[in-house]
Every structure is written in structure tokens, then in C-alpha cells.
Amino acid sequence: MNSLVSEPRIRLPGVVYHPPAAARRYVAEGVWQGVPLGEVIHRDCVRFLDNKAIIGPAGILTFREMDEVSDRFAVGLLNLGLRPLDSVIFQMPNIPETQVALYGCLKAGILPLCTIAAHREHEIGNLGRLVRARAHLIYGQDPKFDFPAFARKMRKEIPSLEYTIAVEGERGSDSVSYVSLLANVDATSARQRIEALDVDPFQVAMFQLSGGSTGLAKVTPRFHSEYAYHTRLWADGSAFDQQTVTFWPLPAMHNAAMSCFTIPTHLNGGAVVLIPWSTPKDVFGIMMDARPTVTGLAGPHIARAKAAGILDKLDLTFIRQCFSTAHAALIEREIKVPGYHLFGMAEGINMRTVPSDPLEVRTTTIGKAMSPLESIRLVDPQTGIEVEEGQIGEMRCRGPYTVCGYFNDPEGDAARFDEQGYLKSGDLMSAVVVDGTRYFEFKGRLKDNIDRGAEKIGAKDVEDAVIQHPSVLDVAALGMPDPEMGERVCVYIVVVPGARAPDKDELGKFLEGLGLAKYKWPERVEVVAEFPVTKVGKVSKDMLKADVSAKLRAEEGGAA
């Protein structure tokens, strides 16, 4: 391809592309290679033909098998009647077919809408109508939910939706089986047809989903060249190689899985573990079987496994890198393997810590951006003026793998991007310089504050202090309603097995010893066995707030 080309051949309605000058710069700098993501993956498959690519419940797929089957799936979609730039709703568990189908779509230039299995009518209906999805990929043998019946319902509610493609389960008269799509397509002719497609490397590759904790998720277009750059950066920055085995137990279609684990691993010839179960017993059981060298764990995974006594029985020292958003110190202490922090958004930017970082950096910061071309500013969210070094500000970013707008959402774009094109992340951070390198500390969300009288308290600030108590395994701080102060500080804690939970007075004395301002001390402590989580495995503070609000109402009624 001509190295000067940096623009898509056509501009899709509703898609915000990078400004032409920025796109030309990224091509000139060599970060956008001008190769579609599906072709990038195919070329790496050819390099590692006989290596293990996917380790699943039913066995192993080599790179050769993964490449050939994904080629055939791509052509199966085209034979079905789909065209490049059509969209397919992915609603699949973490199984090999999910990854194969994803790669097939990328090769055909068909756009995956990256929903998750837990989504239902509200999410699938609204999102499917927004992108005018033409097909719905489901798992037909889910023991807890009737996806074939759900897909039939969605076809009535989404006018553009024509096809249901079912992986496993009995084929219905109104669906097409995954196996039948592959049946009449041979690998050689499939490869030839894909090569003739000439997928545009500067076009949309997929639709990721952003946010959704307070409303419907925003659809975030990601592009072939920028996502190829993004995943290559992560692969090389993580020193992934042919001996790497990665395991991410959260949804495989989530951006974190795709940008940090599955695709980067395959780019450098490593293997990916995919299982459809996420209980602590399953997660740590597959770790012992597959022996991943790189994994990621959410706080609830660790807390549940600790509470169940699982961690005390296992030697997991084969893990070289264990990622979390905020629990590196807990990982080092409880799992006894190197813990690292990552920060990311469906909109693109990733930060991370690396093995060469000092231990203090790895356990207290989220590291730094992967790309030297990523511009990061910490600003006063009201004025947009940069804060002084060491002060807390809203993180805003702009760069080669950060999007410039949401799909068909000009109102959202106006609210989330400033006049210079920087994404307003809504995340509060501060910068710290260690050994001449600038790192970032996550301080919470703009909306994750507790409004106690005239004071705004960062929930993260309270959590960072409470977690240091020896009896506390995990903590979530939130504001509970109060007629006098507006809100007061409440913490939900998970206690270390065998330990006694501190009450609010004991916890206050402990926090006084740490030097935490008294107005930040919790005024209520709730002890739970585990935290409720959202559909993507994050702690649900909305559910905790509802719980404490209900308890306060009951107590008020009882007192009356």
C-alpha cells in the first residue's frame, strides 16, 4: 500500500475518524502500518503454524487450524449474504469459537458488535438497532439462559437483523449453525476469496462498548490500523513470545481481553486459554491445568478464592505477570506472584506497569501510556486548565489508538471531547515522577465522590486507607444518604478468613493512625462475604448503595 495513504476509502455515517493531519502523521511515523487487522493476524498465524493458539475445554487449536477455520467462517458469512461493513452482534461465552468467529469477521471486513453474554433486551435491542446489525452470533447450549428463544425475540425487535448463527445446540428452522457455515467452504478457496476482498486498513474494524454503569453503553468504533498498533504495543511491551500462555477470565469480547490478552498473545505466537466458567474453583483449576504465564484477576476473584481457602493450597509461581486494575499488592501478598496494574478504556488508551518498574511503582500507580505519541493532560475538569504536578486532575488524552468520537452520538461527543480533541476520561489522576519517569496514580472517578457537607471525598482515597487494615481483604467505599450532610461515608468490607471485622470505632482509630482526615472516616461499616459485580465483573457500587439505602430506610421505620 502507498505509505502516504491514511484516509478510509469511504466514510461511514455516524463514525468520527481521526483528523486527516493526525492520520498522516501516524502513517508517516510508522505506527499505522496500513495493513488490516485480519491480515495482520493471518500473517502471524503463518509464522507459527504448528504452535498452540487456543486451549479450550474440548482441546487445542493450532495456529494453522485457527487460521483456516476463521478463513472459512469469514467466507461462510459472505455466502450467507453478509457484506463487508455489515455488523454482527457477538453474544458469546469464552470459548474457542468466539475467538475464531472474531478473526473471521476481521478478515471479511465485517464489524463485530462486542456485547457480552449477560446483556439482555435493553442492551441488545438498543445497540443492535443503533448499528443496524444483520446477524446475531449466540451460544445455543447455555444452561442458564435460552439464547435461541432470545435471538428470535431480538429478530422481531431489530428491523435489520436477518440471521441467527448458533454455536452448538439444536439447529432451529430460523437459525444457521456455526458448523453449517463451515461445511461447504474449503480452506484454499476461502483464503483466495479473502485476499480478493482488499479490506480497508483505515476503516472501522469493530464496535466496542464503553461504560454503561449509569446508562446504555456507548458504541465505540475501533479501526484496523490503530487496533493493530495498539495490540502490537501491548504484545511487545509485555515481552510475549511463543512460550507465553495467557488467561483472562473476564469476557473475551471485552476490550481489555482483546487489546491486552488474546490478540497480543497471538501476534507473538503464544497460546490463549478460553473457558466459559468464572467461579474461583474453575478459574484457579484451569490455571493449574493450563499453567498460564500471564493472567489477569479482578478483586472479587481474589477475595472469593481467599475466602474459599483455594489460594492456600496452590503453587501459582509459574505466573510471570498477573494484571489487575488496582490489586497488585494484594496479588503479591496472597498469590505470591508478580502483580502489575493496567488501566484502559474501550476508547483506546492503555496504561500499565512493567517488570522494570520499581515495586512501589507497580503497587501504587497504574504506570504510564504505552505509546510515546499518546498525549496526556491532567486538568481541572471545570476550567480545562492543567493542574500543577502532583495535584489531582481529570485525565484527558489524545493519540494514535484513542478514538475521536462515539458512533452516531454527537451529543455524547460534545460532552466527552474538549475543543482540542482530547477525550475527557472522567478519571481523576495525579502524576508522580520516580527515577526520572512520569507515572500516573488513579484517584477515582469524577462521579465516584462522596459529597459530605461541603467536602467532596474521593472514594478511592478512603479505600486505599481502609485496605491497609490487617483484617480487611477488600473494600468498597460509597456515599450513603444523610438528611443533614447529604452523604456520609459507608464502607463495605470483605474480611480476611479467620479475622474479626473492625467496627467503625476501631476502624476510625486505625485510620487516625494513618493520618487520614477525620471527615473521611467511615461512619458505617457493612461486612459481606463478597461484593456484587456488574456484567463485566466490576464491583457494583450501585447495588451496594441500594443495599445501604434500604437498610437505612428500614432502620428509620423501625425507630419510628
The pLDDT tens digits of the residues spanning 52-99 come to 999 998 899 999 999 999 999 999 999 999 999 999 999 999 999 999
Burial label, 59 (beta-carbon count in 10 A; 0-12, 13-18, 19+): exposed
The domain ranges of the chain are: 32-49+56-223, 263-445, 449-559
CA dist 553 and 472 (Å) reads 27
Q: Do domains 263-445 and 449-559 have the same CATH topology?
A: no
Beta strand extents in 255-373 (DSSP E only): 271-273, 294-296, 321-324, 339-344, 350-352, 368-369
The pLDDT tens digits of the residues spanning 107-129 come to 999 999 999 888 898 889 999 99
| pLDDT confidence of residue 434 | 96
| pLDDT confidence of residue 212 | 43
Task: Collect all residues with Cβ–Cβ distance below 8 Å to 486 and sequence separation of at least 6.
Answer: 451, 452, 453, 479
Residue 402 phi, psi dihedral angles, 5° rounding: -110, 130
In this prediction the pTM is: 0.86
3-state helix, strand, coil split of the chain in percent (to 5) is 35, 25, 40
Place of cell 490487617: 470
The pLDDT tens digits of the residues spanning 345-374 come to 999 999 999 999 999 999 999 999 999 999
Grade residue 211 by pLDDT with cuts at 50, 70 and 90.
Answer: low
Grade residue 2 by pLDDT with cuts at 50, 70 and 90.
Answer: very low
Grade residue 454 by pLDDT with cuts at 50, 70 and 90.
Answer: low
Angle of CA points 135, 140, 143, to nearest 5°? 140
Share above pLDDT 90 across residues of the chain, in percent, rounded to a whole number: 80
Cβ–Cβ under 8 Å, residues 535 and 117: no
Provide the CATH topology of domain 32-49+56-223: Rossmann fold (3.40.50)
CATH of 449-559, one of 2.60.15.10, 3.40.50.20, 3.30.300.30, 3.40.50.720: 3.30.300.30
The pLDDT tens digits of the residues spanning 484-507 come to 788 899 999 999 999 999 999 999
Residue 318 phi, psi dihedral angles, 5° rounding: -75, -15
Question: CATH second-level architecture of 263-445?
Answer: 3-Layer(aba) Sandwich (3.40)
Mean pLDDT of the region 448-473: 86
Is the pLDDT higher at 441 or at 122? 441
Helix (H) or strand (E) holding 194: helix 187-197
Mean pLDDT of the region 255-259: 95
Asked if pLDDT for residue 445 goes beyond 90, the answer is no
Count other C-beta atoms under 10 Å from residue 71's C-beta. Answer: 30
